[in-house]
Amino acid sequence: MKVMKFGGTSLGSPQRMKEVAKLITADVDSKIVVLSALSGTTNALVEISSTLASGNKNEAKLQIDALEQHYQTFIELLFNTDDAKLKAKQLLAEHFEFLTIILKISFSEALNKDILAQGELLSTKLFSIYLAEQNIHHVLLPALDFMTIDSYDEPQIGTIKVKLAQLMQRNKDTNIFVTQGYISRNAKGEVDNLKRGGSDYSASLIAAAVNASVCEIWTDIDGMHNNDPRVVDKTLPIEQLSFEEAAELAYFGAKILHPASIWPAQYYNVPVRLLNTMDPSAKGTLIAEQAGSVGVKAVAAKDSITAIKIKSSRMLLAYGFLRKVFEVFEKYRTSIDMITTSEVAVSVTVDNDIFLADILKELELFGTVEVDTNQTIVSIVGNEITETKEVMRKLFESVSTIPVRMVSYGGSKHNISLLIPRSYKEEALKCLNKGLFGLE
Summarize as ranges the residues that interact with ligand ASP (CB under 6 A). Answer: 7-8, 36-37, 42, 119, 181-182, 196-199
In the bound complex, what is the minimum distance in angstroms from residue 131's beta carbon to ligand ASP? 20
In the bound complex, what is the minimum distance in angstroms from residue 40's beta carbon to ligand ASP? 9
Q: Answer yes or no: are the C-beta atoms of 88 and 75 closer than 8 Å.
A: yes
Q: Quick one: which segment of 2-10, 80-88, 95-103, 366-374 binds Mg ion (CB under 5 A)?
A: 2-10
Query: Closest CB to Mg ion among 155 and 197?
Result: 197
Distance CA 212, CA 371 (A): 46
In the bound complex, what is the minimum distance in angstroms from residue 182's beta carbon to ligand ASP? 4
**CA-CA-CA-CA torsion sign (100, 106, 112, 117):** negative
In the bound complex, what is the minimum distance in angstroms from residue 179's beta carbon to Mg ion? 16
In the bound complex, what is the minimum distance in angstroms from residue 180's beta carbon to ligand ASP? 9
Distance CA 354, CA 116 (A): 22
Distance CA 82, CA 91 (A): 14
In the bound complex, what is the minimum distance in angstroms from residue 207's beta carbon to Mg ion? 16
182 makes contact, choosing from Mg ion, ligand ASP, none, with CB < 5 to 8 Å by partner type, with ligand ASP
8 makes contact, choosing from Mg ion, ligand ASP, none, with CB < 5 to 8 Å by partner type, with ligand ASP
Query: Closest CB to Mg ion among 206 and 328?
Result: 206
Helix axes of 321-331 and 356-363: crossing angle, nearest 10 degrees: 160
226 makes contact, choosing from ligand ASP, Mg ion, none, with CB < 5 to 8 Å by partner type, with none
Instruction: Kindly state whether residue 198 participates in binding Mg ion, applying the rule CB under 5 A.
Output: no
Query: Closest CB to Mg ion among 7 and 284?
Result: 7
Distance CA 256, CA 200 (A): 9
Instruction: Kindly state whether residue 181 participates in binding Mg ion, applying the rule CB under 5 A.
Output: no
Distance CA 67, CA 419 (A): 41
181 makes contact, choosing from ligand ASP, Mg ion, none, with CB < 5 to 8 Å by partner type, with ligand ASP
What is residue 306's three-state secondary structure?
A: strand
Query: Closest CB to ligand ASP among 181 and 382?
Result: 181
Instruction: Kindly state whether residue 197 participates in binding Mg ion, applying the rule CB under 5 A.
Output: yes
Distance CA 32, CA 140 (A): 10
Neighbours of 347 (CB within 10 A): 20
What contacts 73, CB < 8 A, 6 or more positions away? none
Query: Closest CB to ligand ASP among 37 and 64?
Result: 37
With 0-12 CB in 10 A as exposed, 13-18 as middle and 19+ as buried, what is 352? middle
Name the DSSP class of 56. Answer: -
In the bound complex, what is the minimum distance in angstroms from residue 365's beta carbon to ligand ASP? 39
